[in-house]
Structure 1
Amino acid sequence: MANANQAGLGSIQACREKKILAIGSNMDQNPVAPDTVLVSVIKSVPVLIFHVVDLIYNNKFEPKFYNLGVKEGAIYLSPWHGFENKVPQEVKDRIARIMKDLEEGKLDIRQYK
């Protein structure tokens, strides 16, 4: 996985050449390499923008850092795009649990550096 938008396409190409799976970043990158991109971590810019606009509209905007993520729907995973049967169920369950814990605020990724 390379978190570099279009610049990360090189990592997907390298994975394709090595015949290993890749994880897309920021947008669903499966269409770039359907046999290589297993899943993508998507950053929803519309959700982020709507959040700020809503704060401004409701006169609640403050000049500070807003930490938006899974809980707010700003970050989520793409579909498996046909890889459902290639990923062990226990792995999919673990990923689903982590996403649920993030959504419920039970897991704070800021603690990992």
Structure 2
Amino acid sequence: KRLADEGCKLVIGVGFMLTDAIKEVAPLYPDTYFMLIDGVIENPPPNVVCYTFKENEGSFLVGALAGQMTKKDKVGFVGGMDLFIIHKFEYGYKAGVKTVNPDCEVLVGYTGNFTNADDGQKIAKQQFDAGADIVYHASGACGLGVIKEAQARGEGYYAIGVDSDQDYLAPGRVLTSMIKHVDYAVWLSIESVLKGTFKPGIVSLGVKEGGVGLSPMKYTKDKIPPEVLEKVEKLRKMIADGVFKVPATEEEFNNFVPPQIP
């Protein structure tokens, strides 16, 4: 409201917790554009656009990498709060693992929050102790604890980061990160306002749209066999081409039939 009062042409809200605020304020400022990231307003007003991401697709790719790189046929997943948006990460990851390594077990734990790194480290420790050698997190700041635990374990153990490129947090111990290109969504929204092409509605960005993908793996790429990366790239192209649909829910995962990789 304050930003709209100050005359901002575009107000950007990042995070689903701002959904109600934008829903309430946007109709009061019809000459101001509003962009909501990671939240959905059904039938939004003409000045509101919502951007979501197909986190399940990006998570599928890190799962396909983890499923090939594990030496123990056991990997882990640490989620934050038990919400639909985090389930997208979990089931996409599981589907990726299953596609490349059907014998691999996926251990799952939730911290119940997005803020306590100690909680993330505790669950990662449990999963590593139970035999996992790679743990992917979608848990906000809790993930710093997951990465810390992988770093403490040393050689042979990896964390997988999320949202931004977290590889630098523990060089060589973060296998990759599942990047959500929020910057790209913001750029698209700003461009539409500047060009006068703004359209209200809900936009979902996945692999095909360039909304999700893997980090450049600056510190680990030389440790990953080329054939492993080739398989991940083949799967990325298959998703982009619509050859198969990546599950986002438990029901979709239970009905998921892994694709044949050419």
Q: TM-score of the superposition, structure 2-length normalised?
A: 0.38
CA deviations 1:2-61 (Å, max 9, x no partner) are: 012332111111111222012111111011100201211110112223344556642532
2:152 match? 17
User: Which sections of structure 2, spanning at least 5 residues, go unmatched?
Assistant: 1-135, 254-262
Provide closer, same or farther for how the CA distance between residues 53 and 104 of structure 1 changes in structure 2, counting only shifts above 3 A: farther
1:46 pairs with 183, 188, 194, which one? 183
1:6 pairs with 123, 141, 144, which one? 141
The one-letter code matched in structure 1 to 2:140 is N
State the Cα RMSD in Å: 2.1
Provide closer, same or farther for how the CA distance between residues 77 and 52 of structure 1 changes in structure 2, counting only shifts above 3 A: same
User: Which sections of structure 1, spanning at least 5 residues, go unmatched?
Assistant: none
Q: State the 1:79 CA deviation.
A: 1.1
Q: Percent identity of the aligned residues?
A: 30
Q: Which has the higher strand share?
A: 2
Higher-Rg structure is 2
2:197 match? 58
1:103 pairs with 2:257: no
- Matched-pair contact (CA < 8 Å) for 2:137–2:161: yes
2:172 match? 35
In 1, distance between residues paired with 2:200 and 2:192?
A: 5
SS at match of 2:177: strand
